[in-house]
Amino acid sequence: MNAPVKPETAKVPCTIVTGFLGAGKTTLIRNLLATANGRRLALIVNEFGDVGVDGDILKSCGIESCPEDAIVELANGCICCTVADDFVPALETLLARPNAPEHIVIETSGLALPKPLVKAFNWPAIRSRVTVDGVIAVVDGAAVAAGRFADDPEELKRQAEGDASLDHDNPLEEVYEDQLLCADLVVLNKADLLSAGEADGVEKDIEKTVPRAVKVVRTSEGRIDAAVLLGLGAAAENDLEARPSHHDHEAEHDHDDFDTFVVDLPAIRDADALVRKLKAAAEEHDILRIKGFVAVDGKPMRLLVQGVGARFSQHFDRAWAPEETRSSRLVIIGEKGIDQAGIRKTLEG
Ligand SMILES: Nc1nc2c(ncn2[C@@H]2O[C@H](COP(=O)(O)OP(=O)(O)OP(=O)(O)O)[C@@H](O)[C@H]2O)c(=O)[nH]1
């Protein structure tokens, strides 16, 4: 008689949350934490620049089943390019925690390509211990409806006329499409900013981009229950061929199409005046994303300021800790060549 087969130790499921800059990934994850029903979660949060805003927002959630020390921030580069140095060690650290997580959620930077990250799950060091439960792509419905990711018709026309020097793709569109093409579930977010007809149009756009059948769920403020988001059972690392990418034929890719920089400001007197200035700068310089914490004179709380394109929101998220320096720090992301000096001048003036 054969000896009974020892059951393989169950792999820890990991959910990758992708989506372009400002689509609503952090908002969705906050909701997910709130509806996880005590399931022990851990988070890996990656940001493109070297200033972590999202990790800080999530740490301030104070959810018991996802304590602060189960949140790892990878803020020194894009997760898809720093797999060996950052991602695999971060995953190993989380798996080694005394109270090992039951599920790991990974928020990628808005500029990250998810496919290299899914591929990383085949690395020998982690392959037997973790699996990609699913890739969730969060879509900024308002940005898609406004044609943010559409090809520039003028440029397409010039390409068609055979000017080889213009033979490149629209970088925004490439990143957006790569994220959709890798998804097991698409969350069409910011439905509050769309009419029903516009939302239908965005959904058609998504279906056109993704050749295989992928479920699209509409929502606002990322309000989707953890029970829907977790447990997709996709094992995406075994299914890479079904997830085409614009970068499939490149040995390496880079993020040279985008610039990220930080603007430091002193404490401000008037938050509304600052937001007016930010809005003006975002419109004038076609800024893709602004986010950061701001110190306001006389206020014990820090102000979280967020801008996606020219749409801004702000709220006081928590009190400044006694050991923190009360200062204002904003991360700004735009396409390559964005006028950093001009933006600084507008904001500092
Ligand atoms: N109107 C509206 N705003 C939203 C919605 N979801 C998120 N936002 C806002 O959009 C901004 C960006 O949301 P985040 O959750 O930080 O987006 P993100 O994808 O994590 O951003 P990055 O990590 O910088 O790429 C914030 O100001 C949110 O409050 C929504 O459904 N409707």
**Residue boundaries of the structural domains of the chain:** 12-242, 258-348
Question: Distance from the CA of 189 to the center of ligand 1, in angstroms?
Answer: 9
Mean pLDDT of 259-268: 92
CA nearest 48: which of 103, 2, 109?
A: 109
Mean pLDDT of 326-341: 94
Alpha helix stretches (DSSP H) within the chain: 25-34, 54-59, 88-95, 114-120, 124-127, 141-145, 153-160, 171-181, 196-209, 226-229, 271-285, 340-348
Mean pLDDT of 219-232: 96
What is the pLDDT at residue 126?
93
Mean pLDDT of 322-328: 90
State the pTM of this model: 0.91
Mean pLDDT of 285-295: 94
Give the architecture-level CATH label for domain 12-242. Answer: 3-Layer(aba) Sandwich (3.40)
With a Cβ cut-off of 6 Å, ligand 1 is lined by 19, 21-27, 54, 110, 189-190, 192-193, 220-222, 289, 291, 306, 308, 313
- Token pair of 35 as six digits: 């509806």
> N- to C-terminal Cα distance for the chain?
82
* pLDDT of 104 above 80: yes
* pLDDT of 79 above 80: no
Q: What values do phi and psi take at 271, rounded to 5?
A: -65, -40
Question: Distance from the CA of 332 to the center of ligand 1, in angstroms?
Answer: 15
Residue that wins the pLDDT comparison between 47 and 38: 38
CB of 109 closer than 8 Å to CB of 81: no
Q: What is the pLDDT of residues 135-183, one digit of tens each?
A: 999 999 999 999 998 866 565 566 556 554 433 478 899 999 999 999 9
What is the pLDDT at residue 84?
75
Residue nearest ligand 1's atom 12 by CA: 22
Residue that wins the pLDDT comparison between 142 and 65: 142
Burial class (CB in 10 A: 0-12, 13-18, 19+), 311: middle
Fold of 258-348: Hypothetical Protein Yjia; Chain: A;domain 2 (3.30.1220)
Lowest mean pLDDT, pick from 9-18, 140-149, 214-223, 250-259: 250-259
Count of all residues that appear for the chain in the document: 349
Residue nearest ligand 1's atom 14 by CA: 24
Ligand 1 atom, smallest distance to 306 CA: 27
d(CA 86, CA 82): 6
Ligand 1 atom, smallest distance to 47 CA: 23
Lowest mean pLDDT, pick from 130-134, 147-151, 183-187, 335-339: 147-151
What is the pLDDT at residue 164?
43
